[in-house]
Amino acid sequence: MTHTASTLMPFFGLIRVSGEDRTTFLHNQLSNDINHLAEGQACLATYNTAKGRVIANMLLLNRGDDIILIAAADLCETLQKKLQMYIMRSKVKLETLPEWGVAVCLPNDIPVSNTSEQPQYVLSATTTNQIWHIQLPDHSLVSVGKINQLPPLNTENAIAWKTHEITCGNPWISAATTETCVAQMLNQQLIGAVHFKKGCYPGQEIIARAQYRGQVKRGLVLIESTTTPLFDGDSIYDSNNEEAGLIINQVQQDSVSLALAVIKHNAAQAQLHCNNQVLNIKKCFFSTAND
């Protein structure tokens, strides 16, 4: 599979986790099975509150001597502080990598699609000239390295990648939306970010209960607005002006705003609005059959 349209993506920041206890520590904090993440492998994961709300979703890369966490840049300081609280006597060191960055590029030979039928818990990673390359489940490519070795920011390419993520139903939590949703509202279980056989971690009981008892009543939708722009964290209301959801990610394309939002399942057929503008639901990433 070939990729084109590379760009630096300032949305992302990096945290380096080192020390001999790093793997066990992250395994006990995150939603995926970090104990079995081998050198040269990557995975998706969430970090959650005790109530199961997603603080951040992230991409992890095991480089052998350390593990790199890739999450929204405006959440990295919060993420580092929260993780730091639980290190205690563990031999773990957390540090930001301001001279490092993340670039992304899109495949040029596949149609827009969501994820595979089976969750992909482990992602392969390759390295060339000290830059690591990881293919996400949606087939876009993430590259990690020093900023001066990565392609520069290209606004057109960045918009194209954000559009791809939104239309594929792949949300990225930022400071505007942290601690608003449980993992299943964001379909993290479908892309291999939540491992249900790995054991305890913060929020695990809530997330497991939601999975096996079907208690999640909100999910992702693709929406469109043709008037004023939308923003991450904006509230969505129904025709009775009751809260119905919120915007997770958005991108502006000429006069159209395209967004990924989490809404109540029973609001999928309602007339929704945000910032006094009518929203058009283009696609539901959940089934409303039993709601």
Q: What is the mean pLDDT of residues 212-227?
A: 90
* pLDDT tens figures, 6-15: 999 999 999 9
Q: How confident is the model at residue 291 (pLDDT cuts 50, 70, 90)?
A: very low
Per-residue confidence (pLDDT) for residue 254, from 0 to 100: 81
Q: Based on the domain organization, do 139 and 256 belong to the same domain?
A: no
Alpha carbon distance 268, 233 (integer Å): 19
The number of residues in the chain equals 291
Is 203 within a domain?
A: no
Q: Based on the domain organization, do 224 and 152 belong to the same domain?
A: no
The residue type found at 107 is P
Is 262 within a domain?
A: yes
Q: Based on the domain organization, do 16 and 112 belong to the same domain?
A: yes
Q: What is the mean pLDDT of residues 193-213?
A: 93
Q: What is the mean pLDDT of residues 252-275?
A: 93
Q: Based on the domain organization, do 138 and 262 belong to the same domain?
A: no
Per-residue confidence (pLDDT) for residue 290, from 0 to 100: 46
* pLDDT tens figures, 33-74: 999 999 999 999 999 999 999 999 999 999 999 999 999 999
Give the mean pLDDT of the chain.
93
Task: Give the number of domains in the chain.
Answer: 2
CA–CA distances in Å: residue 20 to residues 29, 64, 65, 92, 224: 16, 11, 9, 7, 47
User: pTM score > 0.75 for this model?
Assistant: yes
What six digits make up the tokens of 191? 């892309």
Q: What is the mean pLDDT of residues 108-116?
A: 57
Is 209 within a domain?
A: no
Place of tokens 């495949």: 107
DSSP structural state of residue 229: -
Is 59 within a domain?
A: yes
* Residue 288 reports pLDDT greater than 70: no
Is 178 within a domain?
A: no
The range of the structural domain enclosing residue 244 comes to: 217-291
Q: Based on the domain organization, do 69 and 7 belong to the same domain?
A: yes
Per-residue confidence (pLDDT) for residue 193, from 0 to 100: 97
Between the CA atoms of 52, 55, 57 and 60, what dihedral angle is there, to the nearest 10 degrees? -100
Q: Based on the domain organization, do 121 and 258 belong to the same domain?
A: no
Q: Based on the domain organization, do 23 and 159 belong to the same domain?
A: yes
Q: What is the mean pLDDT of residues 123-145?
A: 95
3-state secondary structure of 148: helix
Question: Where is the domain boundary, 111, 138, 168?
Answer: 168
3-state secondary structure of 19: coil
Alpha carbon distance 225, 279 (integer Å): 5
Is 194 within a domain?
A: no
Q: What is the mean pLDDT of residues 230-247?
A: 96
Per-residue confidence (pLDDT) for residue 111, from 0 to 100: 53
CA atoms within 13 A on the CB side of 237: 8
**CATH classification of the domain holding 125:** 3.30.1360.120
* Nearest alpha-carbon partner for 231 in 253, 247, 242, 210: 247
Q: Based on the domain organization, do 154 and 71 belong to the same domain?
A: yes
* Nearest alpha-carbon partner for 189 in 204, 175, 174: 204
Question: Where is the domain boundary, 168, 195, 226?
Answer: 168
Q: Based on the domain organization, do 222 and 161 belong to the same domain?
A: no
* pLDDT tens figures, 180-190: 999 999 999 99
Per-residue confidence (pLDDT) for residue 227, from 0 to 100: 79
